[in-house]
């Protein structure tokens, strides 16, 4: 794939490698548009250890570093500056205020926790609780309605292993809402390469039936991720088998009007 919009850096404390390392590997893999979307800083109370995301004080350096590389690689690689962020009702407005002064190109929605993160259920923890499934879909739909996101990352991140009927009902509700709002869904290559609970074939069957737009995302947490061509081939063949052709380019939505 020539465009990847889902890339992390060392700044989130659980990905490896600086921007330069990702840029070099992306170019080696034939990528032409590289979007960085590190886990966004949020203005939580001091008492909350947001261990897997960028600290707000690192934000200026993230943006300045990427602006410098954008100039340096102009004509060879297009670099975009973004964030992957959850929709947390209590912290979303202050997050938007925090990034407003910076030239951020796009946001992707990646709902890793419910509620406001603090004390909220983690989506990658296995559960048979239907309530968590319903709450996940409700919260993602609320997030999509903000209109600031360009895609929904790993829409099938919720690790629900209960009955199939509620899964189908809820995920169809999610897919229909995304379709109605013209928001592409990301088929996540990190999950595929690591054999995580996502991409979930049951989910992508529904997305195929509902006719959702689909984009591939590396969700790179190490620079060499881009070089796993066999993972990309597997993803494309999984999708083609369902009648889904992934989009080439993601239309980017303005965050601020």
Q: Which residues bind Zn ion (CB under 5 A)?
A: 84, 219
Nearer to Zn ion, 82 or 246 (CB): 82
Longest CA–CA span in the chain (Å) reads 52
Nearer to Zn ion, 126 or 194 (CB): 194
Q: Is 74 exposed, middle or buried, given 0-12, 13-18 or 19+ CB atoms closer than 10 A?
A: exposed
d(CA 230, CA 242): 19
What are the start-end ranges of the E strands in 66-122?
78-85, 106-109
- Which tokens in the block code for residue 52? 């897997």
- Least distance between Zn ion and beta carbon 117 (Å): 14
- Least distance between Zn ion and beta carbon 125 (Å): 15
- Which tokens in the block code for residue 86? 């959850």
- Which tokens in the block code for residue 106? 């796009």
Nearer to Zn ion, 71 or 188 (CB): 188
- Least distance between Zn ion and beta carbon 188 (Å): 8
- Least distance between Zn ion and beta carbon 173 (Å): 23
Nearer to Zn ion, 48 or 74 (CB): 48
- Do 185 and 178 contact (CB within 8 A), yes or no? yes
- Least distance between Zn ion and beta carbon 12 (Å): 6
Nearer to Zn ion, 41 or 130 (CB): 41
Rounded to 5°, the CA angle 191-124-34 comes to 40
Residues counted in the chain: 257
């Amino acid at each position: 794939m020539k465009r990847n919009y889902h890339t992390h850096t060392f700044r989130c404390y659980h990905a490896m490698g600086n921007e330069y390392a990702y840029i070099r590997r992306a170019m080696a893999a034939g990528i032409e548009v590289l979007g960085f979307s590190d886990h966004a800083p949020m203005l939580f109370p001091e008492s909350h250890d947001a261990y897997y995301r960028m600290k707000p004080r690192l934000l200026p350096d993230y943006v300045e570093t990427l602006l410098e590389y954008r100039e340096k690689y102009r004509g060879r690689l297009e670099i975009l500056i973004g964030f992957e962020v959850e929709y947390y009702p209590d912290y979303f407005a202050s997050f938007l205020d925090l990034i407003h002064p910076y030239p951020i190109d796009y946001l992707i929605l990646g709902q890793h926790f419910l509620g406001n993160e603090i004390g909220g259920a983690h989506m990658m923890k296995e559960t048979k609780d239907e309530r968590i499934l319903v709450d996940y879909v409700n919260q993602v739909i609320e997030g999509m309605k903000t209109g600031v996101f360009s895609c929904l990352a790993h829409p099938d991140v919720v690790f629900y292993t209960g009955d199939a009927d509620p899964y189908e009902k809820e995920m169809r509700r999610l897919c229909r809402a995304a379709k109605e709002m013209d928001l592409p869904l990301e088929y996540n290559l990190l999950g595929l390469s690591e054999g995580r609970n996502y991409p979930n074939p049951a989910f992508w069957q529904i997305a195929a039936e509902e006719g959702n737009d689909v984009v591939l995302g590396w969700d790179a947490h190490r620079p060499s991720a881009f070089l796993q061509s066999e993972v990309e081939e597997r993803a494309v063949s999984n999708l083609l088998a369902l009648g889904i052709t992934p989009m080439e380019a993601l239309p980017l939505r303005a965050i601020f009007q």
